[in-house]
Chains A and B, each alone.
Chain A
Amino acid sequence: MSDAELLTLSAILAAMVRAATPLVFAALGELVTERAGVLNLGIEGMMLIGAVAAFAVAHADGGILLSIAAGAAAGMAIAALFAVLALGLRANQVACGLALSLFGVGLSAFLGKGLIGTPIEALPALPLPGLSRIPVIGKALFDHDILVYLSVLAAPAIHLFLFRSRAGLILRAVGENHDAAHAIGYAVLRVRLLAVLFGGAMAGLGGAYLSLTYTPMWVENMAAGRGWIALALVVFATWRPARALLGAYLFGGVTILQLHAQNWGVGVPSQILAMLPYVATIVVLVAISRDESKIKLNAPACLGKVFHSGR
């Protein structure tokens, strides 16, 4: 390959990482929430609230860490609202989640009114010593900001938590069979509340990434459907963190590749390429639905079901 081609390759890889990062955060958060048996469709809303909160703090010169924390906290706060309705009052989770998405779009727009048209400095890149010097992939993979690294580290951390820790086992037990978990003395609602709050914080971080570094600005509805892609990703990943990470990079990659491919003279219409992530999700859904054992192994059995402790 020529130097120019290598440079392009490096640029494409770096862009894939960027495009994937908000999806990684949101999908991993939702994955944990769903593993506890709660279906929260409000990711888009939580991302937007996280984005506007993070931006507001950054705009007020709150500093990097505080801005990021604000994004996570705001996502968590609005997830708490969902928890009150869906867990506390046992309302339908699908309806509450949809409402949360719509509410988040509106509320973030309202809160962000004064922030439109005021740019901020993007989070600084933190090149990893040594690794970022590697030709081509160094610049592409190891020269990003703190949120990118955090998102990548989150996947193994969540994997270890879910499958190698007692708390993770309890969380999965609650998601698989809440009555049994309750019977042996686990506080089903408390576990679910924590899972929902974690999901909210992660979605908020995804939003913070959008408004702090991806496009350092606030505009209404800037998540532009990424919350829904994250939701699809969880199914695509069959509720496994590593696959969610991989899926996010795949989806991010497709988004980026279709932008580049338009000028390579590839004869595929860009609309078709833009549809690919959704098509891939449906294919996975169909594939895992064909084999009952695969669903049983992965999909939390109590996903979306209301828990009544009195029963």
Chain B
Amino acid sequence: MSLMRRASLAALLALALGGIGRVQAAEPLKVGFVYVGPIGDYGYSYQHDQGRLAVEKAFGDKVKTTYVENVPEGADAERVIRELAATGHKLIFSTSFGFMNATAKVAKQYPDVKFEHATGYQRGPNLATYMARFYESRFPAGIAAGRLTKTHKLGYIAPFPIPEMVRSINAFALAARSVDPQAEVRVVWVNSWYDPGKEREAAEALIAQGVDVVAQQSDSAAPVQAAERAGVWAIGQASDMTRFGPRAQLTSCMEIWSGYYIDRVRAVLDGTWKPDDTWEGFNKDMVRLAPFNPAIPPAVKAEAEKAEAEIRAKTRHPFAGPIKDRSGKVRVPAGQTLSDAELLKMNWFVEGVVGSLPK
């Protein structure tokens, strides 16, 4: 009986699938996304998923997207990515650094599938990489913070001491000190991408130390909430967190993947896809600032927006010399800028950053 039912179900399924095949002229392009966190984090993975939704909206029934969330960075990732490749996905985005080896391995096994890996450095004939210049958005945010601080103390909640964070903290500090030479940036590592309770307490700790602008690169809106309660400024992360601190949020350093994902899907549909290495910022709208808080003085807003426009136009580089490290040593002489290669492995703090830098 059960066997019979199963057989008839299978027949029905085959019929249905066959039917779909006949009705549609072209098969939709299947696009897979692999996320390290939950799409409900309202942060990093959430923003990637916004990109996926934008792809669906832009291409309608020409694409079919699948996502897998909460994928641990390890052996599981390889299984998930292979599964996507094996089930007919022709374009796969793996969105966390730790998926790099798994993605590269599966890419070799599926040469007709196109892979895109975020924040990594391994490439191949069918494996592209992409990353956003998150540090760019930290610069105008830092200018506004430097202008608004009264205590000359800015806080920065950072997850892990990796070059990505060091770059962003440095850009923020350089910007703040360009308008307030007395400003210092106090860093607290929370050793977690995501722990709302700990992030809140990190914010409270900074506020207790006299910080009156709290920036964060961890994913939850808890620091913005804490700032709202304490009556200090906050700079949000990944998405616009205004709702969690309408008075506190100065701006938010948003990560925008929609444009990039739409471009890449279009390239596959057009047959023009290449295994590029993309590292763009304001110029390609991969980073964006949330609207500035209406309460800030227009002059401050204008100054920050000017910096943003200059970075977008590439007439200003956040890491233009002279830049000294914390020991006072000149790391970047006047007239020079840090190269991308140097930025990618940055492991030193600029002058004015307070706090430990675990190695």
Contacts and interface: CB of A to CB of B under 8 A. Distances in A.
Contacts of B205: 11-12, 15, 256, 259-260, 263
Contacts of B358: 269-271
Interface residues of B, number: 39
Interface stretch (A168-176, A219-227, A240-248): A219-227
Interface residues of A, number: 39
A122 B191 CA distance: 26
A215 B204 contact: no
A11 B201 contact: no
Interface in B271-303: none
Interface string B183-197: 000111111101111
Contacts of B41: 219-220
B322 interface: no
A109 interface: yes
B188 A263 contact: yes
A216 interface: yes
Interface stretch (B52-60, B134-142, B219-227): B219-227
Contacts of A270: 189, 191, 356, 358
B40 A216 contact: no
B243 interface: yes
A18 interface: yes
Contacts of A219: 40-42, 194, 196, 220-221
Contact of B208 (A7, A210, A220): A7
Nearest to A269: B358
A260 B225 contact: no
Contacts of A224: 192, 194-198
A8 B38 contact: no
A102 B142 CA distance: 41
Given A217-B244, A262-B356, A270-B358, A113 B40 contact: yes
A204 to B, nearest CB: 17
A6 to B, nearest CB: 11
B202 interface: yes
Nearest to B157: A259
Contact of B188 (A19, A210, A225, A262): A262
A22 B220 CA distance: 19
A287 to B, nearest CB: 27
A194 interface: no
Nearest to B195: A224
Contacts of B199: 215
B354 interface: yes
A218 to B, nearest CB: 8
A124 interface: no
Nearest to A18: B201
Given A219-B196, A224-B198, A274-B191, A119 B225 contact: yes
